[in-house]
């Protein structure tokens, strides 16, 4: 998932990480929207609102949306910096640290966020956008830009292109590669929906505590990786 045995990542590796992280992003997206009425997994809409506030000469409003965008960018920056620094020190990239940081932040928001909703909603939005920046940067690096999990606009664009290509790609090898790509994108979309669906159902009873479930799934992914790699090394 985050790490693998062998020299190259396979389609199966990307499917595993896509399923897990898109599911987590779906939970975060719904939890953020239902609690503070803001999108907390991507910044496309926030950029439009930022420009609108600038033209209205609303300094505070434009600053808030600028901070949303900045914290997503900061999360992406920090994630890659951590991976690069660790890889320089150990000659091997470690993808665990950004996921551990993301899990801790989600647990903190789950624990204390409900008390801050009415007084520091913008802070919660910035923190959640930071975690999604961490996640999106990490999965982009791991999968070599094959997988992105926190927003769907680009996915639906790519999916539409690839579905149209089914009518033109006739060679078996081309068609096999194309179908694998379509399957990956449908998996990301499906698990994002499932995460959002679960978040929506449980939010009424758990509220922001639903983020603890997202964190638990991330930690499960790390533990699964450790166990699987130890078994693989033992067998070899």
Q: What secondary structure, in 3-state letters, does the chain show?
A: CCCCCCCCCCHHHHHHHHHHHHHHHHHHHHHHHHHHCCCCCCCHHHHHHHHHHHHCCCHHHHHHHHHHHHHHHHHHHHHHHHHHHHHHHHCCCCCHHHHHHHHHHHHHHHHHHHHHCCCCHHHHHHHHHHHHHHHHHHHHHHCCCCCCCCCCHHHHHHHHHHHHHCCCCCCHHHHHHHHHHHHHHHHHHHHHHHHHHHHHHHHHHHHHHHHHHHHHHHHHHHHHHHHHHHHHHHHC
pLDDT at 88: 84
pLDDT at 5: 46
Q: How confident is the model at residue 93 (pLDDT cuts 50, 70, 90)?
A: low
Global pTM reads 0.90
* Mean pLDDT score, 45-66: 92
pLDDT at 6: 47
């Amino acid at each position: 998932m985050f790490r693998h045995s062998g020299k190259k990542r396979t389609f199966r590796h990307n499917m595993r990480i896509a399923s897990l992280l898109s599911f987590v992003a779906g939970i975060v997206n719904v939890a953020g929207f239902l609690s503070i009425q803001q999108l907390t997994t991507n910044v496309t809409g926030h950029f439009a609102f930022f420009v609108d506030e600038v033209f209205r000469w609303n300094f505070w409003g434009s600053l808030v949306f600028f901070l949303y965008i900045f914290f997503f960018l900061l999360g992406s920056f920090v994630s890659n910096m951590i991976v690069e620094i660790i890889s320089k020190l150990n000659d091997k990239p470690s993808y665990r640290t950004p996921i551990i940081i993301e899990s801790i932040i989600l647990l903190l928001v789950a624990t204390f966020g409900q008390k801050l909703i009415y007084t520091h909603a913008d802070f919660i939005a910035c923190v959640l956008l930071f975690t999604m920046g961490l996640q999106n940067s990490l999965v982009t690096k791991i999968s070599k830009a094959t997988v992105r999990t926190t927003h769907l606009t680009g996915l639906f664009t790519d999916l539409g292109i690839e579905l149209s290509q089914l009518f033109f790609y006739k060679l078996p090898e081309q068609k096999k590669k194309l179908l694998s790509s379509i399957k990956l994108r449908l998996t990301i979309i499906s698990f994002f929906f499932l995460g959002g669906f679960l978040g929506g159902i449980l939010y009424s009873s758990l509220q922001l505590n639903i983020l603890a479930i997202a964190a638990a799934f991330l930690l499960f992914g790390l533990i699964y990786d450790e166990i699987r790699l130890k078994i693989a090394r033992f067998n070899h």
